[in-house]
Amino acid sequence: MTYSREHYHIANIRRDVLHKATTLLAKTKSAVVLEDLNVAGMLKNHHLALAIADVGLGEFQRQMAYKGTWYGCEQIKAPRFFPSSQVHADCGYRNHDLKLSDRTWTCDGCGQAVLRDSNAAVNLEHFGRTVSSTGTGARVPNACGEGGSGLAATPGETVLAEAGTERMEGLVLKW
């Protein structure tokens, strides 16, 4: 296989994974919370650019926008500077010194070990429930006509949509 054919093949695989993930979320969830990330700004950082481009965050958001409309999945955008990773979901302590490279941290408020991505997912779920268009944070019927999938398919299941999640199968986190 030639060099350009390999890249074409890899690009098709990435495109396919994005389409499958966004379709699955839009069809099975009545709401998805996405962070309003400055993707263009992150691409200017030479340490992040390759990883951000490979993940396709901008394309993910674009596909969620139109597929959400097709399938009736509400999209909730957390503000750009929402501290989803910095605030401990259990006690509310905010770690202002958290760096992007810190994947885990210890909460000074309660002493608990905190996994950055899991904590952010829980905070984003809470944010989505408070600003949901239903006004109550109640579960609403999903696009497939099934009753009440809400932001999570079952209690204790959170949809991950934070930048920095490492695997696509990590889209759903059970806690």
Q: Do 127 and 84 meet the contact criterion of CB atoms below 8 Å apart?
A: yes
Q: What is the mean pLDDT of the chain?
A: 78
| Burial grade of 98 (CB within 10 A; 0-12, 13-18, 19 or more) | middle
For range 1-22, the mean pLDDT: 90
Burial of 16 (0-12, 13-18, 19+ CB in 10 A): exposed
* pLDDT at residue 148 tops 70: no
Buried b (16+ CB within 10 A) or exposed e, 26-64: bbbbbbbbbbebebeebeeeeeeeeebeebbbebbbebb
Q: In this structure, are residues 37 and 78 in contact, taking their beta carbons and an 8 Å threshold?
A: no
Q: Residue 23 contacts by C-beta under 8 Å, 6 or more apart in sequence?
A: 67
Q: Output the pLDDT for position 18.
A: 93
pTM beyond 0.75, yes or no: no
pLDDT value at position 1? 65
Q: What is the pLDDT of residue 85?
A: 92
**What's the average model confidence in pLDDT over 54-82?**
89
- Distance from C-alpha of 68 to C-alpha of 27, rounded to nearest angstrom: 8
Domain layout of the chain by residue ranges = 3-166
For 171, which DSSP code?
G
| 147, pLDDT greater than 70 | no
Structure tokens that stand for 47 in this block: 């340490």
pLDDT digits (tens, 9 = 90+) for 36-59: 888 788 888 888 787 777 777 788
pLDDT attached to residue 133: 54
